[in-house]
């Protein structure tokens, strides 16, 4: 269900925006779950979204590109520091 919803939202935003340049996976699931990234973008090649399986499965931190060289849409994995973002929001709220 989770992957189905991701795919649905990606398609919806593509339609609303008339195209996209980049898809970014972030946060715990986006950064660490190879299957979610692969499955949520599977079948979207006709829309210009092509994931490179080796790049997607490669381990390692830091910003990384997982789209294939011939992908019209760049697909990135960008690590976040969620705890820092929450702390900053809490300080701004206080």
CB atoms within 10 A of CB 34: 15
Distance, CA of 37 to CA of 23 (rounded, Å): 10
Read off the DSSP letter of residue 45: G
* Average pLDDT of the residues of the chain: 94
Q: What is the pLDDT of residues 6-52, one digit of tens each?
A: 999 999 999 999 999 999 999 889 999 999 999 999 999 999 999 99
Q: Token digits for 21? A: 């340049």
CATH topology of domain 2-93: Nucleotidyltransferase; domain 5 (3.30.420)
Distance, CA of 73 to CA of 19 (rounded, Å): 9
pTM of the model as a whole: 0.86
Q: Token digits for 38? A: 């692969």
Distance, CA of 63 to CA of 26 (rounded, Å): 10
């Amino acid at each position: 269900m989770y992957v189905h919803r991701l795919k649905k939202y990606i398609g919806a935003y593509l339609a609303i925006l008339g195209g996209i340049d980049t898809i970014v996976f972030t946060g715990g699931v986006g950064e660490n779950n190879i299957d979610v990234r692969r499955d949520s973008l599977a079948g979207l090649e006709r829309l210009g979204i092509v994931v490179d399986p080796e790049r997607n499965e490669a381990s390692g931190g830091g910003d990384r590109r997982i789209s294939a060289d011939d992908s019209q849409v760049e697909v990135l994995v960008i690590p976040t520091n969620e705890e820092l973002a929450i702390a900053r929001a809490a300080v701004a709220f206080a």
